[in-house]
Structure 1
Amino acid sequence: MDKIIFILTGLDYAGAEAQVIQLAIGLQLRGWLVQVISMIKPTAYVEELDELGIELFTLNMKKGIPDPRAINKLKQIIQKFNPDIVHSHMIHANILARVTRVFVKIPVLVSTAHSNNEGGKTRMLLYRATDSLCEITTNVSQDAVQSYIQKKACPANKIMFVPNGINLKQFNKNEQDYTDIRSELGLKDEFVWLAVGRLVEVKDYHTLVTAFSEIVKRNSHCRLIIVGEGILRATLEAYVRSLHMENHIKFLGIRKDIPRLMNASDAFVISSIWEGMPMVLLEASASELPMVATDVGGNGEVVEEEVSGYLARPIDAPDLSQKMQKMMSLTKEERTVMGKKGREFVLAKYDINAIILRWESIYSDLFKTKAQDREVERVN
């Protein structure tokens, strides 16, 4: 057992994609032969995978447009590589991999969801209808696992919790970054909030901007830095202008120096309506940043209330604002203690090396069980 294919919907700079890339790289370094397949044309990690010698394929699908031809394309890639494990990620790739299995031999198929909300009833019915075509479904938070059981997307005996992992070596407290990045961005001694994520509806930046604008009315000595791109950027920038907050909220777009930006910030905030297990919260914890997060999905599994941060109600600007103000009212020493608690927590539970070993154990158990089942069938 040494060949694996990862299939995912697309490759851009988002949490689920980052996790798949870390798994692919980690397994390759441990001696696996790894391929990555993106259903739509990838827009990130292409050079990184190429430099490491990991083959990347695309099915060249169009976003939002079903294309049955993708089944045959995927079938051909699988036949040529002949993997021991196929591991799909996110709803579209999970369903595609399961359907494709009808037409090609796949020794073990693992499906991973990355949220407690991948869509409505139709998608949950698709999961249920194709469940027999995979060995196991996993999700990235305990909350999400329970949600999928309740929605009857997966039976309780065929779904398990496997958390995201983080490379802790990439995220360390660095005082030089604090000075350099603040100088680059024109920041002085203001209290700096950092938010990282796609500018899409689920991240609910509208509520965050509203909450932060209320803080500025009481304390103008603060900034909100938003990192990410998405279809709502122009709308959000217009909303910021309507509130006359241009001097307090800065949009940076895509950045590849997230660890340095975290080192230059005083606290992290995430305002999502729903989540799985946000990589950015693990990264903020590893960077010793105290956090304010909406209490959805796996957020509450990472942010320990009053220990490493505060939890706020989703879609509730007054509550989010109150929790952010509570954070700002702490002394620097109190926030430092919170940050250190956060790093200790992720070190104990979310180190990527431990997560990769766990995946190897899962793959091995499934592969052996499948081989034993085939042997029983042959004997009978």
Structure 2
Amino acid sequence: MRILVLANFGMGLYNFRKELLKELIKNNHEVFISLPKDEYKPKLEEIGCEFIDTPVSRRGTNPITDFKLFMNYKKIIKEIKPDIVLTYTIKPNVYGGLACRVTKTPCIVNITGLGTAVENGGVLQRITLYLYRISLKKVNCVFFQNEENKKTLIKSKAIVGKNMVLPGSGVNLEHYNLMEYPKPQVVNFLFISRIMKEKGIDQYLEAASYLKQKYSNVNFHIVGFCESEYKNKLTNMQDKGVIEYHGKQSDVKRFYEISHCTVHPSYYPEGMSNVLLESAACGRPIITTNRSGCGEVVDEGVNGYKVKPENSNDLIEKMEKFLNLSYETKVKMGLSGRRKVEIQFNRRTVIDTYLAEIHNITER
């Protein structure tokens, strides 16, 4: 078969879907990927994908640019004539789904999160939900990464056909293997994310400032691309010795190795947090918000703690509670997280579900 994959950036496709792509290629399917050219293009080509450079304005709201994307997708589909199209993230889902509807091409959509447009309400929310309704009406199957996203789109009547909830993108349990827990002399907290307000960076920095003054045996690490509004703040706090900022990293495994606990106080409308899945797979306790896409990875008090979104005091309380646990309890928490992802979030489950659904659709 010819399979076309629509996405908005190479890093996400390579880091979270490459096992599926490899499986499809292994089964003698031709796999075409359409996304903007970036540093992951050679990596995706190396595993056997055929690359189509397709500009996607990930956060833009210009209707002319979005219409060009729809026309681009329609042109690509007509040229390649895929047997099925797989789409990921908001714009490929909406405009790729619409192009598949117009060209009558089988399509599987993956809702990796509804984004701030739906979250914040108002005119933009109504427009986005309308676009979902017209683009997803005829798709063959919609995969969700959490129940709340599913309920939202069903309530808005955007989804009328087959749908199911996957365990996020799952986690590769071999790559993110169970690591030896770090020694107890100094406790390392770890924040991995794009440095932006909705990811809870303000709450993490407030917690770091408070706890660094109170405890001498604690460090606060930050990894991720920094939005311009936070650059000076991170530099100043690093100069004062409150945090250690490591910038954007292509491989975060070495940071999981030193971490005693991953802190992810996000209130961004996540699909399912990959950072939390990876951390738990490595045997690291986690502290995160009780929001959909984050809270599902935590069994309270077993492998971590949940906090209220945008609540620095609650975060400080839970981080301090973790600090005061015995070393043995922290290790036990990490092992509990590993068992949880082995049972509930194995990426193999996601791959098998995709393969089965592709088979069901193309054999009709």
Amino acid at match of 2:208: F
Q: Percent identity?
A: 24
Amino acid at match of 2:206: T
Identify if the C-alpha distance between structure 1 residues 282 and 218 changes in structure 2 by more than 3 Å, giving closer, same or farther: same
| SS in structure 2 of the partner of residue 123 of structure 1 | helix
After TM superposition, the structure 1 stretch with the greater mean CA deviation from structure 2, 91-100 or 239-248, is: 239-248
**Paired residue for 1:212?**
208
* CA distances 1:268-289 after superposition (whole Å, capped 9, x unpaired): 1101113220111110011000
State the superposition RMSD in angstroms: 2.5
Indicate whether 1:161 and 2:173 are aligned: no
* CA distances 1:89-137 after superposition (whole Å, capped 9, x unpaired): 111111111222254341x111111125452322112112323231222
Indicate whether 1:127 and 2:135 are aligned: no
Work out the CA distance in 2 between the residues paired with 1:215 and 1:200. 21
Amino acid at match of 1:167: N
**Paired residue for 1:271?**
265
TM-score when normalising by structure 1: 0.84
Work out the CA distance in 1 between the residues paired with 2:318 and 2:156. 32
Indicate whether 1:98 and 2:97 are aligned: yes
Identify if the C-alpha distance between structure 1 residues 246 and 150 changes in structure 2 by more than 3 Å, giving closer, same or farther: farther
Identify if the C-alpha distance between structure 1 residues 123 and 154 changes in structure 2 by more than 3 Å, giving closer, same or farther: same
Indicate whether 1:222 and 2:221 are aligned: no
Identify if the C-alpha distance between structure 1 residues 305 and 174 changes in structure 2 by more than 3 Å, giving closer, same or farther: closer
Amino acid at match of 1:221: N
Work out the CA distance in 1 between the residues paired with 2:156 and 2:291. 17
From 192, 196, 204, the counterpart of 1:196: 192
Residue 6 of structure 1 contacts residue 20 of structure 1 at CA under 8 Å; is this kept in 2?
Answer: no
**Paired residue for 1:378?**
none
**Paired residue for 2:121?**
none
After TM superposition, the structure 1 stretch with the greater mean CA deviation from structure 2, 218-227 or 19-28, is: 19-28
| SS in structure 2 of the partner of residue 71 of structure 1 | helix
Work out the CA distance in 1 between the residues paired with 2:54 and 2:234. 39
Identify if the C-alpha distance between structure 1 residues 43 and 227 changes in structure 2 by more than 3 Å, giving closer, same or farther: farther
Amino acid at match of 1:136: C
Indicate whether 1:239 and 2:209 are aligned: no
Work out the CA distance in 2 between the residues paired with 1:294 and 1:17. 27
Work out the CA distance in 2 between the residues paired with 1:189 and 1:346. 28
1:174, distance to aligned residue in structure 2 (A)? 4.1
| SS in structure 2 of the partner of residue 86 of structure 1 | strand
| SS in structure 1 of the partner of residue 10 of structure 2 | coil
1:152, distance to aligned residue in structure 2 (A)? 3.7
After TM superposition, the structure 1 stretch with the greater mean CA deviation from structure 2, 267-276 or 312-321, is: 267-276
Amino acid at match of 1:32: H
Equivalent residue runs for 1:182-193 within 5 Å? 189-193=185-189
Indicate whether 1:50 and 2:45 are aligned: yes
Q: Which runs of 5+ in 2 are unaligned?
A: 119-124
Equivalent residue runs for 1:1-380 within 5 Å? 2-12=1-11, 14=12, 18-38=15-35, 41-63=36-58, 64=60, 65=62, 66-106=65-105, 108-117=106-115, 119-120=117-118, 121=125, 122-155=127-160, 157-163=161-167, 164-175=169-180, 189-232=185-228, 235-240=229-234, 246-274=240-268, 275-368=270-363, 371=364
Work out the CA distance in 2 between the residues paired with 1:191 and 1:308. 17
Work out the CA distance in 2 between the residues paired with 1:202 and 1:57. 32
After TM superposition, the structure 1 stretch with the greater mean CA deviation from structure 2, 246-255 or 57-66, is: 57-66
Residue 6 of structure 1 contacts residue 24 of structure 1 at CA under 8 Å; is this kept in 2?
Answer: no
Work out the CA distance in 2 between the residues paired with 1:3 and 1:339. 42
Stretches of 4+ moved more than 6 A in 1? none
After TM superposition, the structure 1 stretch with the greater mean CA deviation from structure 2, 193-202 or 145-154, is: 145-154
Residue 116 of structure 1 contacts residue 145 of structure 1 at CA under 8 Å; is this kept in 2?
Answer: no
Amino acid at match of 2:287: V
| SS in structure 2 of the partner of residue 169 of structure 1 | coil
Residue 172 of structure 1 contacts residue 259 of structure 1 at CA under 8 Å; is this kept in 2?
Answer: no
Amino acid at match of 2:20: L
Amino acid at match of 1:162: L
